[in-house]
Amino acid sequence: MNILSMKPKTFSLRYQPGFTIIALACFFMLYAPIVTLVIYSFNAGKYISIWEGFSLQWYVSAWNNEIVQDATIRSLVLALQASLYSTVLATMAALGTTRIRPFRGLTAIYAMINQPLMVPEIVTAVALLILFAMIKVATGVQGLFYLVAAHTAFCIPFAYLPIRARLEGMDLTLETAAADLYATPWMTFRRVTLPLMWPGIIAGAMLAFVISLDDIVITEFVKSAGQETLPTYMLGQLRRIITPEINAISTVLLAISLLVVSFFFVVSHKRD
Amino acid sequence: MNMRKLAAGLAGIMMLLASGAAHAGGELQLYNWGNYTNPDLLAKFEKETGIKVTVTDYDSNSTALAKIKAGGHGFDMVVPSASHVKIFIEEGLVIESRPDQMSNFKNVAPEWRNPFFDPGRRYSVPWQWGTVGMVVDTDVYKGDINTSAIVFDPPAELVGKINIAPEMLDIMNTAMMYVGSEPCSTDKAALKKARDVLVAAKPKWLSMDYGLVEKMPRGDYAAAIYWNGAAMRARLAKSSIRYGYPREGYTVWMDNAMVLKDAKNVENAKLFQNFVMDPENAALISSFAKYANGISGSEKFMPEEMATAPEVIVPDEFKSMGVFPPACSKEANDYYTAIWTELTK
Amino acid sequence: MTSSSNNDPSVFAEQLAVRRHWLLCAPALTVLFLAASGPLLIVLVYSFLESGEYGGVVWKPSVDAWFRVVFQRDIFDDTLSLADAHLKILWRSMRLSFFTTITTLILGFPTAYFIATRPQNSRNIWLFMVTVPFWTNLLIRTFAIMEVIRNEGMINTLLIFIGVIDAPVQMMNTDFAIMVGMTYVYLPLMVLPLYAAMERLDFSLVEAAYDLYATRLKVLWRVIIPLVRPGVVAGSILVFIPALGAFVTPRVLGGGKKMMLGNLIELQFGAGRNWPLGAALSITLLAVVMVALLVYVRTVQKNAELQR
């Protein structure tokens, strides 16, 4: 409650009226559906919306469901890889498209980087299905590689935009100063540019991760035999019936993500 | 030239690696509808044969067809609906595995031994079959429910409380029969009538969505056109829910398991085809997804509630009104799509 | 590569810099070409082919698909007219996406600002809190929203309990539901880029403005917003475009009675069995997005120059 009553006693530069309330309302809005989702994961009944008492049966059934476990792990592995690769590529591209006077071809680069955003997923999905099928038939090579490539590609713009937003108009004087002090370009990058970019990179990587974790349509078309991910598994369920088992898995994923948050929290506090 | 050699060499190495990773005891890659394969069935199959079955899901016939057609998918078996079985056969995507010569073929019910989509059952074995009909909450509406007018010209009690299954083919076919024509017809007068009926009825619908099993018992809507197995589940949750067979004609569907042309485990797939024609195993399929399976003698292995369900066992008086829609021609399908687009614009 | 430029060291240095920048972009561009843009060429080619009997294409050139994007031949009296269904769906999609972008901006801006003005070490935690709900996936999240807005859902129950309303307000299966859903789904795509831009906000400029007796509103409008403009641009793009092609939300929350562009395209590739038309519709969407983007970026740039 004391955040709400945080009226500026002394004059605050940062204060804007109503912003804190809207922000907290936003967080409330983000979490309200999640709370219902978590509640229904403990439902004794068969449905995700008719409450029939408390039970842990869906956790047990998810725990025993090999398909679900496989799919969940595959989703996480895929998202980790895709977000890692796409963030590295996007960071390089962001460095390559900022801090310089507009040069010829820059617009084309922008267009290309943002292109996955501009096409509905189903289109990319069908196109990738055709292309990858040709490669698979020609080489006989199967594997998660195709999904990783597809996810990396469509995650690049999501990682790129926050990083670029960060870099744009970044104070160049520090870099120049470092160069003047005979720092090698690599040293300048490591010690000056990268730390300044860091918040953008974190934001980009997080976006890429959740975007990959969320993808349904492209995965559905690109996946080969035995490459079910959690979203495609759920898509299959949608037609028949969705049980609270899905809620249970989601709750576990949420718990994991909260653990990660706490971990970061502890680490960042230790450093201070 | 060198590049090509290099590529071929690389591919060879990759293939070796890939095959080395495969299961030694034999495996089977099944491509099936989501939430449609009983894990107990697969466990039983593995116990009897040592073959490990991996299931991957699809959510529509067209997705399955597109992926299989593209190739390089790694699947051994697919389970398309009757309307698509013919397409798979015509496009040369499946092999003639001759289920009709398998030892368990004797169990296939007589009426499913020679279906029009696979005469003589040279390619496919029955998985499950069902109907598309009217699901009505008789607490809300007490009149006749054996008519498609329930959704196409709804009584006042049901206006604004109707759900339509979001499945273009099923709905269009039912509408065509409602106006006195037949599925996949290209008769323009009938198509126009069907369109007018649908456009006039749409404002009286609440939604076009899945999820009836959950939404109808909790009272989101009071009538729907939907699949029979879901109707039974809904009745078990709320006893006033009934399933009606439209006398104007209703559609019948059947999903069938077939072996793919580019399958790597053809023999295992054939074993599986034979396996699911065993009454006890077929009953496992049905007790999971709640539809009938076309195998005689499987009823006695099914749960009590299913073996007698009026949604699953079509009453004799309605048997003649069921129609098995063929694969629509391109022309008919184009008309359907145009009407469907106009309806949901 | 004229000889004169080689002689001028500053031009030469700039050429080197441009080359270095291209090299930095090259890996990303390669991946994008292989797994995004390149395959799109297939779609372009497909849009000029004949449709196959059961989906797919026949390798015969045809402009039939493009014709059908714009015109429809009435199946009953053969008259030709504008494809009113397609235009309606396009217009609906643009409208809904536009309002979704505005709502996410109104909600996301204060949220990002709030996060950016937290003490340094807790900012990443708040940021992470924005993405936590997204560890569940899109489908389950959409279902969870349904639980909140349906007739017996959280909001209606609460409002009836307080006594604001007597009967539940129908929110499910409406455009409103689609907007709520999309706003929810796309909010982080707005907050994260905004945050990235605000985090480096130089508050000495804000201080200077206050020293000149600017009001809070003026500071926000004339100082803060112009400074974080790149973030606003990035966020709006990230929300608007995916919303245009949204597919799951209109189906689940909108009740599926009205299509959006994503659904229309999916219909052509799926049950409609008309891949060339699906391809042509996709290219149309792409063109619309490009034009909108260009206009948007130009306007923003012009405004930025005016304010300078």
| pLDDT one-digit tens code per residue, B301-310 | 998 888 889 9
pLDDT value, residue A272? 46
CATH topology of domain B130-252+318-343: D-Maltodextrin-Binding Protein; domain 2 (3.40.190)
- Residue (of A204, A113, A202) closest to A158 by Cα position: A204
Min mean pLDDT across A124-128, A130-134, C125-129, C278-282 is at: C125-129
* pLDDT over 60 (residue B5): no
pLDDT value, residue A144? 93
Q: How far is A81 from chain B (nearest CA, A)?
A: 21
Length of chain C: 308
CB neighbours of residue C27 within 10 Å: 16
Percent of chain A whose predicted confidence (pLDDT) is above 70:
93
Q: What is the mean pLDDT of residues B73-94?
A: 94
Cα separation of C246 and C248, whole Å?
Answer: 6
Cα separation of C265 and C43, whole Å?
Answer: 12
Mean pLDDT of chain C: 87
pLDDT value, residue B25? 60
- Which chain C residues are Cβ-neighbours of A255 within 8 angstroms? none
Where do the CATH 3.40.190.10 domains begin and end in chain B?
Answer: 21-129+254-307, 130-252+318-343
Min mean pLDDT across A21-35, B184-198, C234-248, C294-308 is at: C294-308
pLDDT value, residue B20? 39
pLDDT value, residue B327? 87
Cα separation of B304 and C127, whole Å?
Answer: 54
Q: Which of A118, A214, A234 sits opposite C290 (nearest CB)?
A: A118
Percent of chain C whose predicted confidence (pLDDT) is above 70:
95
- How confident is the model over B142-153, as pLDDT tens digits? 999 999 999 999
CB spacing of C238 vs A31 below 8 angstroms: no
Q: What is the mean pLDDT of residues A37-53?
A: 85
How close are the terminal C-alpha atoms of chain C, in Å? 35
pLDDT value, residue A2? 46
- Spans of all domains in chain A: 66-271
Homologous superfamily in CATH for domain C83-307: MetI-like (1.10.3720.10)
- How confident is the model over B111-142, as pLDDT tens digits? 999 999 999 999 999 999 999 999 999 999 99
CB spacing of C54 vs B327 below 8 angstroms: yes
What residues form DSSP beta bridges with B260? B94
Is the CB of residue B16 less than 8 Å away from at least one CB of chain A? no
- Residue (of C225, C213, C237) closest to C304 by Cα position: C225
Query: Rounded to an integer, what is the distance from CA C183 to the centroid of its chain?
Result: 11
- Residue (of A203, A195, A123) closest to A158 by Cα position: A203
Query: Rounded to an integer, what is the distance from CA C277 to the centroid of its chain?
Result: 23
Query: Rounded to an integer, what is the distance from CA C150 to the centroid of its chain?
Result: 26
- Which chain A residues are Cβ-neighbours of B15 within 8 angstroms? 140-141
Mean pLDDT of chain B: 91
Q: How far is B188 from chain C (nearest CA, A)?
A: 6
pLDDT value, residue C7? 61
Min mean pLDDT across A10-24, B216-230, C43-57 is at: A10-24
Residue C307's pLDDT band (cuts 50, 70, 90)? low
ipTM reported for the complex surpasses 0.90: no
Q: What are the tokens at A131?
A: 């292309």
Min mean pLDDT across A81-85, C5-9, C225-229 is at: C5-9
**Candidates C45, C121, C136, partner chain A, best to mutate (most A CBs within 10 A):** C136
Asked whether the beta carbons of C263 and B337 are under 8 A apart, the reply is no
For residue A70, with 0-12 CB atoms within 10 Å meaning exposed, 13-18 middle and 19 or more buried, which class applies? middle
Is the CB of residue B172 less than 8 Å away from at least one CB of chain C? no
- Separation in Å, CA C76 to CA A27, B195, C54: 53, 11, 24
Cα separation of A197 and B222, whole Å?
Answer: 57
CB spacing of A137 vs B71 below 8 angstroms: yes
Residue C6's pLDDT band (cuts 50, 70, 90)? low
- Residue (of B315, B325, B326) closest to B146 by Cα position: B315
CATH topology of domain A66-271: MetI-like fold (1.10.3720)
pLDDT value, residue C8? 74
Cα separation of A141 and A144, whole Å?
Answer: 10
- Whose tokens are 């498609």? That residue is B148
- Whose tokens are 């004229």? That residue is C2
pLDDT value, residue C4? 47
- Residue (of B231, B239, B242, B236) closest to B291 by Cα position: B231
CB spacing of B14 vs A48 below 8 angstroms: no
- Residue (of B289, B226, B294, B288) closest to B254 by Cα position: B294
Cα separation of C158 and C150, whole Å?
Answer: 12
Asked whether the beta carbons of C231 and C197 are under 8 A apart, the reply is yes
Mean pLDDT of chain A: 85
- How confident is the model over B11-63, as pLDDT tens digits? 444 444 444 344 446 999 999 999 899 999 999 999 999 999 999 999 899 99
pLDDT value, residue A270? 61
- Spans of all domains in chain C: 1-46, 83-307
Angular region, A46: left φ>0, alpha ψ -120 to 50, beta rest = alpha
- How confident is the model over C67-94, as pLDDT tens digits? 989 888 776 667 777 888 999 999 999 9
Q: How far is B105 from chain A (nearest CA, A)?
A: 28
Touching subunits for chain A (3+ Cβ pairs under 8 A): B, C
Is the CB of residue B34 less than 8 Å away from at least one CB of chain A? yes
Length of chain A: 272
Asked whether the beta carbons of B162 and B205 are under 8 A apart, the reply is yes
- Which chain B residues are Cβ-neighbours of C172 within 8 angstroms? 207, 220
Q: What is the DSSP string of chain C?
A: --HHHHH-HHHHHHHHHHHHHHHHHHHHHHHHIIIIIHHHHHHHHHTTEEEPBTBSEEEEE--HHHHHHHEEE-TTT--EEE-HHHHHHHHHHHHHHHHHHHHHHHHHHHHHHHHHTS-HHHHHHHHHHHHGGGGS-HHHHHHHHHHHHSTTSHHHHHHHHHTS-SS----TTSHHHHHHHHHHHHHHHHHHHHHHHHTT--HHHHHHHHHTT--HHHIIIIIIHHHTHHHHHHHHHHHHHHHHT--HHHHHTSTTSS--HHHHHHHHHTTT--HHHHHHHHHHHHHHHHHHHHHHHHHHHHHHHHH-
Angular region, B14: left φ>0, alpha ψ -120 to 50, beta rest = alpha
Cα separation of A237 and C173, whole Å?
Answer: 21
Q: Which residues of C touch B (CB under 8 A)?
A: 51, 53-56, 72, 75-76, 84-86, 88-89, 150-152, 172-173, 251-252, 255-259, 263-264, 267-274
CB spacing of C258 vs B344 below 8 angstroms: yes
pLDDT value, residue C34? 92
pLDDT value, residue B132? 97
pLDDT value, residue A198? 86
Residue C306's pLDDT band (cuts 50, 70, 90)? low
CB spacing of A227 vs B55 below 8 angstroms: no
Percent of chain B whose predicted confidence (pLDDT) is above 90:
86
Query: Rounded to an integer, what is the distance from CA A5 to the centroid of its chain?
Result: 33
Q: What is the mean pLDDT of residues C132-161?
A: 87
- Whose tokens are 């009217």? That residue is B134
**B175 or B24, which is more confident:** B175
Put simply, the chain C residues between 180 and 199 with a CB less than 8 A from any chain A CB are: 184, 187-189, 192-193, 195-197, 199
pLDDT value, residue A182? 86
Asked whether the beta carbons of B205 and B151 are under 8 A apart, the reply is yes
CB spacing of A239 vs B70 below 8 angstroms: no
Mean pLDDT is highest, among A57-71, A165-179, B133-147, C50-64, for: B133-147
- Which chain C residues are Cβ-neighbours of A158 within 8 angstroms? 189, 238
**Candidates B73, B77, B93, B128, partner chain A, best to mutate (most A CBs within 10 A):** B73
Asked whether the beta carbons of A194 and A185 are under 8 A apart, the reply is no
HEC per residue, chain A: CCCCCCCCCCCCCCCCCCHHHHHHHHHHHHHHHHHHHHHHCCECCCCCCCCCCECCHHHHHHHHCHHHHHHHHHHHHHHHHHHHHHHHHHHHHHHHHCCCCCCCCHHHHHHHHHHHHHCCHHHHHHHHHHHHHHHHHHHCCCCCHHHHHHHHHHHHHHHHHHHHHHHCCCCCHHHHHHHHCCCCHHHHHHHHHHHHHHHHHHHHHHHHHHHHHHCCHHHHHHCCCCCCCHHHHHHHHHCCCCCHHHHHHHHHHHHHHHHHHHHHHHHHHHHC
Min mean pLDDT across A18-27, C28-37, C171-180, C197-206 is at: C197-206
* pLDDT over 90 (residue A174): no
Percent of chain B whose predicted confidence (pLDDT) is above 70:
93
Residue A268's pLDDT band (cuts 50, 70, 90)? low
Q: Dihedral angle at the C-alpha atoms of A148, A149, A150, A151, nearest 10 degrees? A: 50
Cα separation of C308 and C303, whole Å?
Answer: 9
Min mean pLDDT across A84-88, B49-53, C2-6 is at: C2-6
Q: What are the tokens at A179?
A: 């160069």
CB neighbours of residue B105 within 10 Å: 16
- In CATH terms, B21-129+254-307 corresponds, of 3.40.50.150, 3.40.190.10, 3.40.50.300, 3.40.50.2300, to 3.40.190.10
